[in-house]
Structure 1
């Protein structure tokens, strides 16, 4: 089991899939929290069109029903999202699944649904949202990797270009970030820099 890239930008709008995909990112998550109904659907469809054009594996956050309806092949769910998800329908449709984890109990639950990757975070403090969990630290990545075995491990939370290689060295298979891409003055250049760093760490 493997992911198509060692870098994993998370974005909130379809135009970022176009920009970052055009710069070489091949695994991008669309996480939209402020749209509903037709506006949400239009954003997801636009993101998929950009992803198809650039050969990007698009991961849709939360909206597994829309992923099924629209033929999007990968979703990411948080622990609370697992409660209402029809995992049987998702697997029957061939939908791939990533799951967030922050504790040993959450890891056990995530592994029980046979995910296609496990995300661990926050590795460092993050400014994007209030987290009830303390920063995990890079050492925890090695502990998690020993537990998940062949399941790809994604590191997320407070990760920057300067920190990416240490996550991979500690055991992560892939490194993910939001603000280090979309809040950077040169997002496309940042993608290329992350790709270079993660290739050197291989």
Structure 2
């Protein structure tokens, strides 16, 4: 399977990791902010234990030292975290690296780190986190995909299942989803929709 999978949910609790793993999701990012190293180690150790031996690849968000210590396989960093991270140490540990980008300058910074994928966002308006960047819109996906070539491009930010076909057609290799799963009235059914569409497109 490609990495990251075409459907790429981002969640903030162990309960969600467990639920998505049981549903057979291939790539899940666990994003929990403002933890000290001890709390982050406890959280991600539990998450990695949950996903170990399953088809789910767990992506550690931000805590790169913890990812190395726990021998995680996948890591995602924002630009601020990238600036403070030891990319050489991450690479030496054999961990894949995905990076967030929001404008041309951030894309250039990300590409210098030779990531395994680049995330572009927000595609649409999102209320989940305060963003200093305006929505990028679907056409930007095509522009950036032409620039980065074979490097996987992940679209993120306010995306719903109904927009997936258009976003994939624009050039996205993967769609990161938050609220369309975690705030949906029937999350399990929504996940099955995403997985079904991804399987057809694969």
User: Residue 19 of structure 1 corresponds to which residue in structure 2?
Assistant: 19
Counterparts of 1:4 and 1:131 in 2: how far apart (Å)?
Answer: 24
Shift of 1:18: 1.2
Contact 1:79 1:100 in 2 (8 A): yes
TM-score, length basis structure 1:
0.94
Counterparts of 1:178 and 1:53 in 2: how far apart (Å)?
Answer: 24
Deviations 1:137-162 (Å, cap 9, x if unpaired)?
11000111101111100000000111
User: Residue 72 of structure 2 corresponds to which residue in structure 1?
Assistant: 72
Answer yes or no: is 1:7 the counterpart of 2:7: yes
User: Residue 42 of structure 1 corresponds to which residue in structure 2?
Assistant: 42
Q: 1:34 to 1:80 in 2, by over 3 A?
A: closer
User: Residue 127 of structure 1 corresponds to which residue in structure 2?
Assistant: 127
User: Residue 104 of structure 1 corresponds to which residue in structure 2?
Assistant: 104
Q: What number of residue pairs does the alignment pair up? A: 202
Q: Equivalences for 1:95-174 in 2 at 5 Å?
A: 95-174=95-174
Aligned to 1:54, the other structure's residue is in SS state coil
User: Residue 57 of structure 1 corresponds to which residue in structure 2?
Assistant: 57
Aligned to 2:32, the other structure's residue is in SS state coil
Counterparts of 1:190 and 1:110 in 2: how far apart (Å)?
Answer: 32
Superposed CA RMSD in Å reads 1.6
Counterparts of 2:185 and 2:41 in 1: how far apart (Å)?
Answer: 28
